[in-house]
Homo-oligomer: A and B are copies of this chain.
Amino acid sequence: MRAILAAAALVCALNAAPAVAQTSPLIVEKKVFELPSYTTEGGQTIKNVRIGWESYGTLNADKSNAILITHFFSATSHAAGKYAASDAVPGYWDAIIGPGKAIDTDKYFVLSSDTLVNLNANTPNVVTTGPASVNPDTGKPYGLSFPIVTIRDMVGVQKALVDTLGIKKLRAVVGASMGGLQAFEWAVNYPDAIERIVPVISAAGGDAFLTAWLDVWGQPIKLDPKWNGGDYYGREAPNAGLAGALKVVSLHANQADWANATFGLAPAAPAKAPGAAMDNQFKIEAALEAGGKARAAGADANHFLYLVKANQLAAADPAKVKVPTLLVSSPNDLVFPPAWVERTAGAIAANGTKVQRASVAGPNGHLNGVLHINQAGPAIAEFLARPLTN
A-B contact pairs, 25 of them (CB 8 A): A41-B275, A42-B275, A42-B276, A144-B278, A148-B277, A150-B275, A206-B265, A207-B256, A207-B260, A208-B256, A208-B262, A208-B264, A209-B256, A209-B260, A210-B256, A211-B284, A212-B282, A215-B288, A216-B247, A216-B251, A219-B244, A219-B247, A219-B248, A278-B306, A334-B334
Interface size class of A (residues with CB under 8 A): 35 or more
Contact mask for chain A residues 238-249; partner B; CB cutoff 8 A; 1 contact, 0 none? 001100100110
Q: In the assembled complex, which residues on chain B have CB atoms less than 8 Å from the CB atom of A73?
A: none
Interface residues of A in 251-271 (CB under 8 A from B): 251, 254-256, 258-260, 262-265
**Is A377 an interface position by the 8 A CB rule?**
no
Q: How far is the CA of A288 from the CA of B275 in the complex (A)?
A: 31
The reply to whether the CB of A309 lies closer than 8 angstroms to some CB of chain B is: yes
What is the CA–CA distance of A209 and B255 in the complex, to the nearest angstrom? 7
Task: List, in ascending order, chain B residues with CB within 8 A of A313's CB.
Answer: 274-275
A28-36, A83-91, A92-100, A220-228: which one contacts chain B? A220-228
**Chain B residue with the shortest CB-CB distance to A208:** B259
Q: Are the C-beta atoms of B220 and A219 separated by less than 8 Å? A: yes
Total copies of this chain within the assembly: 2
Prevailing SS type, chain A contact patch: helix
Name the residue of chain B whose CB is nearest to the CB of A261.
B208
Q: Is A20 an interface residue (CB 8 A)?
A: no
CB pair A148 B256 closer than 8 Å: no
Q: Which residue of B lies closest to A287 (CB)?
A: B212
Q: A191 within 8 Å of B by Cβ?
A: no
The 8 Å CB contact of A282, one of B144, B264, B312, is: B312
A208 / chain B contacts, CB cutoff of 8 Å? 256, 259-260, 262-265, 282, 284
Contact in complex: A256, B339 (CB < 8 Å): yes
A211, B265: Cβ atoms closer than 8 Å? yes
Is A232's CB within 8 Å of the partner chain B?
no
Q: Quick check: A212 and B305 within 8 Å, CB to CB?
A: no
